[in-house]
Amino acid sequence: MSAKTDSSQFNRVVEDLKLQLKQNLIENTAYESLQQDEWLRTLYSSYTKMFINDNSRIWTTGSIMIPLSLAGFAALPGFRSSRLIHILTLAVASSVVMVTWLFIAENHRAFQQKSMAWIVAIEHTIGLTKTGGPKIRGNFLNRLLTFPAAVQIMRWVLTCAVVVAWIVVVIFWPRCL
pLDDT in tens, the chain (177 residues): 455 566 788 888 888 888 887 777 666 655 555 566 777 888 899 999 999 999 999 999 999 999 999 999 998 888 777 788 888 999 999 999 999 999 999 999 999 999 999 998 988 888 877 766 666 777 888 878 888 888 899 999 999 999 999 999 988 876 665
Which residues fall within 8 angstroms of residue 159, CB to CB, at 6 or more apart? 98, 99, 101, 102
| Res 112: pLDDT | 94
Q: How far apart are CA 76 and CA 152, in angstroms?
A: 29
Which residues fall within 8 angstroms of residue 152, CB to CB, at 6 or more apart? 106, 109
Q: How far apart are CA 83 and CA 93, in angstroms?
A: 16
| Res 37: pLDDT | 75
Give the up-direction half-sphere exposure of residue 113: CA atoms within 13 A in the CB hemisphere. 17
